[in-house]
Structure 1
């Protein structure tokens, strides 16, 4: 067994990230991979800063990853290779013309091949049946072009290893919104896309009043019609209950808190929804491993401070180290220099501190931890700005207007799903609760990873229980809280995802959102027997609590899902990190 990584992490590294020779044989150790990445990022730092010895900084970056305290989004593990593209998130623009659509499709293919994921706003495309003056024909509509992009993604593997990931966004007032809402009702359709409906404030207000909204498109005024907001909302909730999609984006809220409105308006996000971006922007993400930041029964705040400040420097350096696939992307990325630092291992931290996930104490901790990370990230970005200059779009930004000290980066904090890097870090993903005591994770083509939650075994031993016998009982019961004979204090301490009422999932997302410049990607998991009303309530609560978007998933509502409790089929979901 490797000294740094467990078996599951090694499988992922060997499949995706370790260097290979011309025959396909792995020729790089995990340690050498980390040295390559750390060296490349430190070399980029030296080109723009020079305030720290390059070899010393490379060692610090290496230790940060080797100690599993932080990982960047997985494309950044290609750093040090020729022409490596290191960002995870991209948003590409579309115009209502065939030339624009195919130009964007070609750009997306290149980005997918390099390991990135793409988001698109299809609202600009005229609705199906609208007249096309140049040809005298009729338009096929946004959903048909989403199908086109899906087929392209199917044949272009990310980095030659896996299919790409996409987000399709459509405004709630687009005439084809019902077709979009139901686009994934057929199993297997658009498997390379996540779908999100962009809800406007006007729609939410109309819904509250019981009013209608107008569905319209500037290129097809003849297609305009009025529809009850409730009819649209009900269709969204029903499809989300049936199969987990579409999700929601609260697009006006996203733009109200957008730091650079003078540069443009945000209309789309990356594939998992946590990074709203302007057209042609890219963003590099990274996550701090909270599972290793508990000391003496409390959060090790000083160590967390050190990790955050070094991680911000790392992520800013990635912008210098990356090879951009297209000039407009380089221009926009350098203009705002957005980064997204988040967390993983939050559920592990709660277990270590003896705090139930579904408790006010957990919400308070979430608020404190993310608030601390955001404040320290601001300090780090301001320090970089003193030496390197603020991001070029600083003048006229909301940050300048708010009186924030000049920043190197227009955004700093984001909570990503961490699907891959949490495996490398050996911790629970993102801010999600423990999924089950033992899960089958389907992350590699043709392979599965069976993972036991190590902290649960440790707790059982500490309680004087036979771990193998007790784990077998828990598996049979479905979760610790449903297992007879377990101490009540232990049941309360280790809930798994379906023990937790949906409102606690949403409240946790909102607690982290309060301190995120960008957004939070979190799945509101519902049990298989959850009623439709639970989906509606989750959507409404997310709006009320200030979330920027929401995704729900009812257990077993699809034939496939990423995490299972051994017996349930799965779906491969895009992971941003």
Structure 2
């Protein structure tokens, strides 16, 4: 293989040296001071690599040099350029400025053709199959370039609306939610699926179906969903008044209207969010009222939806790149009585970060040009590739005219703790507001300076912005800054956000985004030699291996321990009761995700939101026993406090999050006999199509309370025939002419008529049918799906086709294993983490290194 070459416009091409993966992982672990999770995240997601997986960077220091070199190249185009060394010092060790996601992976990477944008919103506004199909293609074209996508569905006509085709009436928005969701699940992005946000206005007549789509139907698993709620609806819901829905939603003389009980729908939103953490809420009037880009809505910058995590509301075909400032890096003498925040250094770095973000826009424009060149060079005809080409031309135009940036933060929780402030307290909120006001003023000052040096964004018009609440807040905070914008304009249409910073916070080794610490400590275990004099054997497993349980701590809690004179090794081995006494002395006590007063948290979000021109991604974590009434109070407080959105996560409403090790022996489950629920004559069913080796297979899964109750599966060519568009229906239990049970499938065709096909069981010979009945019996008695899969995998059957059939059953059932469930054998073959493998959408993924396995 030829040695790859990185080309630069200002330097000679440099040859790259490929490193052995094991060498890179070892060096990265050393770089992160033994933090294997951070090391593996960096190696898998951000180290420079080509399409064959060859790695060309040994540690994050190489990456920071790569990024600094490219940003310095752009700086040389403009007056008063930042030096490469100054940029590098701000980036190194993830201490101050951290490009997020796509910029980190893509800046200076010419080995792959990808975008530097983290997120996009699309929307052609067409209410036709052509427009719907085009949006579907646009979505996957963006996802393959590593971007997350948002779409609003409020322009699609409601269910039952007459249409001029063979269907005669519209199916409404829900089937298209499933279509876009399925497309997202199909797109691979270097070990991760695409990310999608679907939104709809509460004013749309199908809004209630949208709200129920994920909870009641068990579908749309490839998308986040959020409802755009206006102030009129909130007032109607809280006052018990009716609310008018209409289509089109913005029409002065709509084609249809419908009066609904706002309180009932509001209760449904609350219940669904309490039950399943979705839908999310977008307070749309607040978003539009505060939006600076919407001052230019008639020029194409009308906000219609958000990115998948909700922190960037966007207009159609605009995009955004993200960068986080590590707030913990500005705390001097952390966790001591002398702790202070260096506002001077922070302000200087914010201005630098905004400048670097503007440089990244220039780099993104270069990337788009390269994408267009690749599309033009592809051998397909223009009729095939026109949608992709037109898409990137639109994105290029929005990027050039607005130059939108996404400067944000991470480590809010650690910053407050290091200063001795309790997250969620009034003092902590006041200090956070001071920090974010400083950030906003300095970022906008930097953008104004760049407008003078580099030119304002092309459509800047101060007259359009004069009544914008956010701009007037800046004007009041810093009149001189406002005058400078009047004189020279601004380089960027909108600047600020607060994103979740998931993998970024793993590498900064801090709390994520605006969030508090999730847990202070949790337990892990390691195998030990019982003859080792230092070994502390906690238990012996069934095969005789000896294990030690030990405490793993949040990174900055370790700093607190060290700075306050504790022996970290000794604390690591403490029992829970003794450890708890120490935790209670720390500033993290009563300040974790489940401890923080939930109403205070949304008040904090609303106070900070006033200094963030885009939005804030934040989740309010609440205990499992939280009432729906409290969820309602949190939502309504968020609206009143000026939040632009709100998401609730109730512990246990979804699988797959870390939990503290607090269960007592008394709370452990005991063996007991169970009685399965009686099978109704009619069961809801999911129809699953999949590949088993090279064969097409179909599974029909009978569902009871959204859980697999019985399974029928086989090769598509052997099973009865029914249309490819069928994804759900009902399994009907009947009697055949001999009095034996017979199972039939019923589904709705595209015209809404019910069709029944007899004889699901006829696709099996008697032996397969007997296995299917045994497996269905296990399912009915409530065995967790992951253990049912394990049981089937262990079946010892001699015939080849039964083995193939067995694999088909496993493939079908794996799709119903709740996300986050640990695999029976959870040792990761990629990194050997003994607890690494978790289920995610039917596949096994390693939480440590990103290894994935489907099948």
> What TM-score does the superposition give when structure 2 sets the normalisation length?
0.61
Alignment correspondent of 2:540: none
1:182 aligns with 2:212: yes
2:501 to 383, 401, 418: 418
In 2, the alpha carbon distance for the partners of 1:473 and 1:41 equals 47
1:319 aligns with 2:415: no
SS across alignment from 2:247: coil
1:394 aligns with 2:423: no
Alignment correspondent of 2:203: 173
Q: Quick one: structure 1 residues 99 and 431, their matched pair in 2 at CA, closer, same or farther if it must change by over 3 Å?
A: same
Does the Cα contact within 8 Å between 2:517 and 2:588 map onto a contact in 1?
A: no
1:283 aligns with 2:325: no
The structure that has the greater radius of gyration is 2
Alignment correspondent of 2:121: 91
1:203 to 230, 233, 249: 233
2:289 to 240, 243, 256: 256
In 1, the alpha carbon distance for the partners of 2:613 and 2:523 equals 33
Q: CA deviation at 1:463?
A: 5.0
Alignment correspondent of 2:728: none
Alignment correspondent of 1:329: 395
Q: Summarize the alignment of residues 423-462 of structure 1 with structure 2, pairs less than 5 Å apart.
A: 423-438=506-521, 452-461=553-562
Q: Quick one: structure 1 residues 222 and 85, their matched pair in 2 at CA, closer, same or farther if it must change by over 3 Å?
A: closer
Question: Of the two structures, which has the highest relative contact order with CA contacts closer than 8 Å and spacing of 6 or more?
Answer: 1
Q: CA deviation at 1:58?
A: 2.5
| Cα distance per residue 1:415-437 (max 9 Å; x no partner) | 11111211122211011111002
Q: Quick one: structure 1 residues 564 and 408, their matched pair in 2 at CA, closer, same or farther if it must change by over 3 Å?
A: farther
In 2, the alpha carbon distance for the partners of 1:476 and 1:237 equals 37
1:72 aligns with 2:90: no
Q: CA deviation at 1:145?
A: 0.9
Q: Quick one: structure 1 residues 549 and 571, their matched pair in 2 at CA, closer, same or farther if it must change by over 3 Å?
A: farther
Identify the range of structure 1 (431-440 vs 326-335) with the bigger mean alpha-carbon deviation.
431-440
Q: Quick one: structure 1 residues 373 and 524, their matched pair in 2 at CA, closer, same or farther if it must change by over 3 Å?
A: same
SS across alignment from 2:142: helix
Does the Cα contact within 8 Å between 1:502 and 1:534 map onto a contact in 2?
A: no
1:236 aligns with 2:277: no
In 2, the alpha carbon distance for the partners of 1:87 and 1:317 equals 13
Q: CA deviation at 1:237?
A: 0.2
In 2, the alpha carbon distance for the partners of 1:410 and 1:146 equals 31
Q: CA deviation at 1:74?
A: 0.7
1:224 to 257, 269, 275: 257
CA RMSD of aligned residues (A): 2.8
| Cα distance per residue 1:206-227 (max 9 Å; x no partner) | 2233111122213997763211
Does the Cα contact within 8 Å between 1:355 and 1:493 map onto a contact in 2?
A: no
1:141 aligns with 2:183: no
In 1, the alpha carbon distance for the partners of 2:148 and 2:416 equals 31
1:530 aligns with 2:626: yes
Alignment correspondent of 1:512: 608
| Cα distance per residue 1:288-321 (max 9 Å; x no partner) | 0011111141101121112111110111111110
| Cα distance per residue 1:107-166 (max 9 Å; x no partner) | 2112111111111110111122222124452222212111111111111122x3311111
Q: Quick one: structure 1 residues 63 and 462, their matched pair in 2 at CA, closer, same or farther if it must change by over 3 Å?
A: closer
Q: CA deviation at 1:376?
A: 0.6
Q: CA deviation at 1:252?
A: 1.3
Alignment correspondent of 1:356: 422
In 2, the alpha carbon distance for the partners of 1:440 and 1:173 equals 48
In 2, the alpha carbon distance for the partners of 1:466 and 1:11 equals 28
Alignment correspondent of 1:447: none
Q: Quick one: structure 1 residues 361 and 32, their matched pair in 2 at CA, closer, same or farther if it must change by over 3 Å?
A: same
1:162 aligns with 2:199: no
SS across alignment from 1:524: strand
Q: CA deviation at 1:40?
A: 2.1
> What TM-score does the superposition give when structure 1 sets the normalisation length?
0.89
| Cα distance per residue 1:394-432 (max 9 Å; x no partner) | 126644565731211111111111112111222110111
| Cα distance per residue 1:447-501 (max 9 Å; x no partner) | xxx9631222343455555656656768679xx8xx3x34854377562211112
Does the Cα contact within 8 Å between 1:351 and 1:494 map onto a contact in 2?
A: no
In 2, the alpha carbon distance for the partners of 1:371 and 1:244 equals 31
Structure 2, gaps ≥5 residues long: 1-26, 334-338, 372-391, 476-481, 525-550, 663-819, 822-837, 842-855
Does the Cα contact within 8 Å between 1:456 and 1:494 map onto a contact in 2?
A: no
